[in-house]
Structure 1
């Protein structure tokens, strides 16, 4: 009898140990244990309300399965991707079922709109399972609508490398942007290291090149499909639009300088190029900073409701922000067209002009070609926002020509710039005879500093 009693005690101890050592199922809760979602924010529950508890289901649809669990508060770790919201309320087409193994099953069969017609064990229902740690559940109250709310990590969409979108955005786009960055960097270096090119026009060209380099780098990140995080997108968009806006304001400063010089009767003003560059810097950077900050502020506070994502944090600059970024760009283009037409009329009426006007004639031609190239690229950039694959691909291909064309306009199309590059880099030691400069008389430092070479 004692032996039977001992066996009974041993069996009871084994069952207690099994229950004690049984691992608990982890369930992610979006808010803290004493909180729930009210609208888009976590709110503490009242003392009279019951805290949220998960309800478990079996694979065959049985409800209220008793499972030992532990609550893990916080949003899921989705890596570079933003969590996606799912709402389960009465008569909704989305169904959330927490299985007894801790897996969240999301049914999205839109052919069965009513709850009473839904069969959790139906083999024809479409669903996706989210492993523990890739979702969080909670109660959500919006006005009088009570729903079950979940944030889930978007399923990985495996795109084959031969698909057109993957090729254009992740292979062709980096190549085209790299070509543009290299060409623009060559322009900036040449205009920066050549002493005779560091006048006002040269400094403005260098600044425009640097702005476009930053814009190209940010635009490259914006187009890559591997960066889906809301943080990386919002930062790359902001940097891209800021730098592009700054480039057009600097181009507007160049057009204004050329127009004002041709219009002025006395070109020998007692003001250095350094002071002029400071004045134009104040105009360009202050306008860029003011309008850019206004656009970002409007995006976060006054953007159109239909364009706002359901997440608290925006994924990219919205329509209102884009409008406030690019309407000033259109205004600068209109002003540049006015400067071009007026200056062209003044030049056509001039019969004789001196060395300064002669140099500015070549700068005026460069200004017009830069305006044409940057405006066409900007128009295709705007059309890429329509999200049509063809327009995005056209912009990616056209962007490959912007850098080389600007390089041609600023370096190879300017005879004196090409002459200075050959004289500095090739002179008599170049292995290619065609690149060697022709023998010339020694003009001295003063005449060389006046930049009276080949134009």
Structure 2
């Protein structure tokens, strides 16, 4: 009896105050929170972490598993009661994947939001050094510059939805650093046509390259098809313009990077540098030809232009092949660990994003390509100064002297145009968009000026074009070029 009495009292004072409805409400709320827990995409299994981008058991490396930290939109930490993992890498469908590293001292920060989305914050505050920089520690996109340049801009960010990323803890064994790792899907590009960077880099730049190729091709064709212009000087000008056409084509391919991989992108770089090197070597041979002819006691005694052009070709292309081989070997054998990556721009509706890393020739290889070009400047200045002194000492000019003096003026003009364009190319590699935009314009001006000094400013070329195109008269031919047309009593047109 006493036992039943005490049981009745317990039920009356302990259990009955909590009604059936209240107990059911508490259980249902808790169950609802668990079912609606935040989904977190984890790259590896629950007992694994990333070891140099490979999933390994955490206990084998004495590392703790990844414990996600949640943040609000303003960057403050928040607590999430329930969350659950979805294991595996994201399915990016038609887009590509990009790794991002948050290792403490990098400019990339990975903030996991309380709703399961990933906020990638880029602080843009970094000192880059190509000799000591680690692409995994300084910038997840692998951008390195040849000199140390501080870059400070307002932070930018992008939010990746829950099924477009995966995160995990990562250990870099080379530096023994731990941090967070994320593999994200590259967002689909939404073009902002009013963005200055997009207009200059993706619209005007390819248009200017195409116009430049047309102008260079016009000069090459004119100097090739007109018989009286196919002397040694004319053949050199034609070859220089062909080299510039190839460099413009390679530059045009580099603009559109969406369908290029690392190998093809590096090949376009190699073609670009080789063509530029060939153009400047041929310009140097042009100056040497003028200097040697003026230094000669008798300008009339010479071998045929065809044979001379073969001699010049063998020397120039041998030097180009030698320097290119040295640069490529230096890149693959000596430049390991400091290989550069070019950061390609993509545009979203609100911010500027980065495209896939593109491996390029390292700075050691570029130095081997461009150092000979710098030396050609000094040699060409020597040719200019010494030839100018010889011209000033000449009292009587023959027709060949007038021809050579015209070639000398043309050489100096092309030398100035190509040198300034090359300097702007070097400046465009600095981390300043204004210099890049300036090079885009200067690149077009180079083609326009070369077309002007080689065609429009040369009165004898204009005369030959007018005679062949407008009057359909046969052009004079001769193995000595168009200076011999004057000496043989041909048509009188000035230089």
TM over 0.5, yes or no?
yes
Q: How does 1:298-377 map to 2 (within 5 A)?
A: 298-300=330-332, 302-303=334-335, 308=340, 315-377=359-421
Contact 2:327–2:364 under 8 Å retained in 1? yes
What corresponds to 1:65 in structure 2?
84
Conserved in 1, the CA contact under 8 Å of 2:167 and 2:182? yes
Q: Does 1:215 align with 2:247?
A: yes
Alignment of 1:120-135 (within 5 A): 128-129=159-160, 132=163
Q: Are the equivalent residues in 1 in contact too, given 2:340–2:359 (CA < 8 A)? A: no
Q: 1:208 to 1:378 in 2, by over 3 A?
A: same
The alpha-carbon distance between structure 1 residues 92 and 174, as it changes in their structure 2 partners (threshold 3 A), is closer
Q: 1:140 to 1:286 in 2, by over 3 A?
A: farther
What secondary structure does 1:451 align onto? Answer: helix
Q: Is the 8 A contact 2:277 2:373 kept in 1?
A: yes
Taking structure 1 as reference, are residues 93 and 182 closer, same or farther at Cα in structure 2, changes over 3 Å only? closer
Q: Which is further off, 381-390 or 186-195?
A: 381-390
Q: Trace 1:50-61 onto structure 2 (pairs within 5 A).
A: 61=80
Which runs of structure 2 are paired with 1:12-161 in the superposition (5 Å)? 37-38=51-52, 61=80, 65=84, 83-87=98-102, 94-95=109-110, 105-106=118-119, 108=121, 128-129=159-160, 132=163, 139-143=170-174, 144-156=176-188, 158-161=190-193
Matched residue SS, 2:359: coil
Q: TM-score, with normalisation over the residues of structure 1?
A: 0.69
Q: Quick check: 1:82–1:228 contact (8 Å CA) kept in 2?
A: no
Unpaired segments ≥5 residues, structure 1:
1-24, 111-125, 429-436
1:451 to 485, 491, 495: 485
Q: For 1:276-304, what per-residue CA distance to the aligned partner results, in whole angstroms no more than 9, with x for missing partners?
A: 22222222222223323433444455559
C-alpha separation in 2, matches of 1:152 and 1:260: 62
Decide whether the 8 Å contact of 1:169 with 1:224 is kept in 2. Answer: no
Aligned residue for 2:295?
Answer: 263
Q: In structure 2, which of residues 306, 323, 333 is the aligned counterpart of residue 291 of structure 1?
A: 323
Does structure 1 residue 381 correspond to structure 2 residue 425?
Answer: yes
Residues 248, 76 of structure 1: CA spacing in aligned structure 2 closer, same or farther, 3 A cutoff? farther
The answer (yes or no) to whether the contact 1:139–1:146 under 8 Å persists in 2 is yes
Task: Quote the Cα distance in structure 2 between the aligned partners of 1:216 and 1:346.
Answer: 36
Cα distance between partner residues in 2 of 1:254 and 1:287: 15
Gaps of 5+ in 2: 1-38, 72-78, 124-156, 344-355
CA pair 253-140 structure 1, distance change in 2 beyond 3 A = same
Q: Separation in 2 of the partners of 1:396 and 1:47?
A: 54
Residues 388-419 of structure 1: CA deviation (Å, up to 9, x unaligned): 22222222222222212111211122222222
* 1:254/1:77 CA distance change after superposition, 3 Å: farther
Does the C-alpha gap of structure 1 residues 131 and 315 become closer, same or farther in structure 2, counting only changes over 3 Å?
farther
Corresponding residue of 1:418: 462
